[in-house]
Amino acid sequence: MAGWNELLDQLHELADLGAATAILDWDQQTKMPPKGAEARAHQLATLQGIHHERLTSAALRDALEGAETAGDGPAPFRGEAGQALLRETRRIVERGSKLPVPFVKELASASSRAFERWQRARAESRFIIFRDDLARLVDLKRREARYVGYREHPYDALLDEFEPGQTATATAAVFQEIRGPIVALLRAIQASPRQPRREILTQHFPSDNQWAFGLEVLSTMGFDFEAGRQDTSAHPFTTGFSPGDVRVTTRVYENELPVALFGTIHEGGHALYEQGFAPELMRTPLANSPSLGMHESQSRLWENVIGRSSAFWRYWYPRLSARFPEQLSRIPEEDFVLAINHVRPSFIRVEADEVTYNLHIILRFELEVALLEGSLEVDALPEVWNAKMDELFGIVPERDADGVLQDVHWSYGSFGYFPTYTLGTLYSTQLWMALKRVFPDFEDRIARGDVLFIREWLRENIHRHGSTFVAQELLQRVTGEGLNPTHFLGYLRQKFSALYQLVW
């Protein structure tokens, strides 16, 4: 047991350091005055440096080995949970230890420079400004993959950071399975005579009322405001410092109703996950989701499967209209529901609808894999991007800013991150199937404004476990099967055939 106590002490301190970093980051994005940025960069670097130092220390390794030798841990870390804690600790310790410190510093400095260059490149819509930095980052990420190690493909080493256990080959197979059907569905929707009146959503919606409506929805979802808060930031995000302190952010556009509304529901889904970790996992690596995909499954389930459903708006549309009578009282509910489900090819991923969103991800995944394995040169990237846009969407951006330069991720060196968005989407519809099995009156309850039972079920089956189970195992336990994209395809066909009155 001595080994275990030592291990837990060290893990607690690591978790505290991680939380402190997250608090500084939240503050930077929501409250910090502009001239605080220089010192904040130092403060974050110091905390991260100490975290890395301790994560890769001989002391932690010794404590981990001590606990492994001792076997069962103290409550609540007996049996399964204890083994899970050792597994997760070993995973993060080993991943952290494989990267030499000079390499980590080189990568941090290259990303920082690349981010500056990317901002300029996007503002001027000139890929050439970003080209050298991107090439350098690709090279560094290939080196990172070699340090980390992989069996099949260098991409596996990167993907594994965000979606442990997932591989490029498995991802490619799943994406291949959904690619064709999504394109076919998109073409069918485009051909439908029934099309939304999107101008419903671009009227003037005063921000105070948007904010108040968002809080009402968050509350009804079961977000605990005694254990969290919402603020505004340039880019919406969720961050948790403990299950008792989970913060979401959103942004409000007065002429674009869906931005704040669905942003809030999306982040709310992430936040319920973070508020739902079992308290006894606090300050350990198990107070975390097992993968980014699993985290995203929660936000997508709430935002899209629930939040963009007809049933949801049966209850909520009268309430929204009451807040915005001038804008909405003469708009029928079904027109509103169709408008928030407007499907069309578009250039910008973050503005994409449920059908085309995953095509944006597939495009990025294919390019990332090719860059990493060296079958695609950075110089050819804009051209190949545009060719793939044409192939998948039937449209080609006129400016690199609307194409290859649109996402910030690569400038951070985040390769292997994008697929988790689609994996999360696939998980979300598998959870939806499970929910409908357990609650045959699933839609009726939502239509009556009752969604709390969903949070309860998710909390019991997913949230409270943290990362006690790896993503695939958790999915298997909860849904009775592994990753299976047919449910997503079934969901899309059913939902959009009804909305667009498609005949198959």
Q: Which residues form the catalytic set?
A: 267
Q: How far is the CB of 243 from a second copy (least distance, A)?
A: 8
Give CA–CA dist 209/28, Å, rounded: 26
In angstroms, the CA 323 to CA 329 distance is 10
* DSSP class of 397: -
In eight-state DSSP terms, residue 302 is I
Largest Cα–Cα distance in the chain?
A: 71
SS3 482: coil
Q: Is 200 in a helix, a strand, or coil?
A: helix
Contact pattern for a second copy over residues 271 through 300, marking x by CB under 8 A:
-----------xx-----------------
Among residues 6, 13, 366, 443, which is the contact residue for a second copy, using CB under 8 A? 13
17 interacts with a second copy by CB under 8 A: yes
CA atoms of 373 and 261, how far apart (whole Å): 40
Report, in Å, the least distance between residue 192 CB and a second copy. 46
Residue 466 DSSP code? T
Interatomic CA distance for residues 238 and 246, integer angstroms: 7
Count of residues that interact with a second copy, criterion CB under 8 A: 38
Applying CB under 8 A, does 330 fall inside the site for a second copy?
no
Amino acid letter for position 279: P
Of 303, 194, 306, 297, nearest in space to 258 by CA: 303
Residue that has been written with the tokens 């606090």 in this structure: 282
Least separation in angstroms between residue 39's CB and a second copy is: 3
User: Which of 5, 6, 20, 68 contacts a second copy by CB under 8 A?
Assistant: 20
Residue with Cβ nearer a second copy (47 or 499): 47
Taking the complex as a whole, how short is the minimal distance between the CB of residue 86 and a second copy, in angstroms? Answer: 22
Site for a second copy in 233-262 (CB under 8 A): 241-242, 244-245
Q: Side chain identity at 504, as an amino acid letter?
A: W
User: What are 249's strand-pairing partners?
Assistant: 231
**Interface map 32-71 toward a second copy (x if CB under 8 A):** xxxxxxxxx-xx-xxx-xx---------------------
Shortest gap between Cβ of 231 and a second copy (angstroms)? 8
| Site track for a second copy across 207-226, x = CB under 8 A | -----------------xxx
Q: Does 395 interact with a second copy (rule: CB under 8 A)?
A: no
User: DSSP letters of 314-364?
Assistant: HHHHHHHHHHSHHHHTTS-HHHHHHHTT-----S-GGG--TTTHHHHHHHH
- Asked if 421 interacts with a second copy (CB under 8 A), we say no
The set of long-range contacts for 149-153, using a CB threshold of 8 Å and a minimum separation of 24, is 149/98, 153/369, 153/372, 153/373
Q: Is 491 in the site for a second copy (CB under 8 A)?
A: no
Counting contacts by CB under 8 A, is residue 23 touching a second copy?
yes
Which one, 38 or 199, has the nearer CB to a second copy?
Answer: 38
494 binds a second copy (CB under 8 A): no
Determine the interface stretch with a second copy among 10-18, 355-363, 384-392, 487-495 (rule: CB under 8 A): 10-18
Residues interacting with a second copy, by CB under 8 A?
12-13, 16-17, 19-20, 23-24, 27, 31-40, 42-43, 45-47, 49-50, 224-229, 241-242, 244-245, 282-283
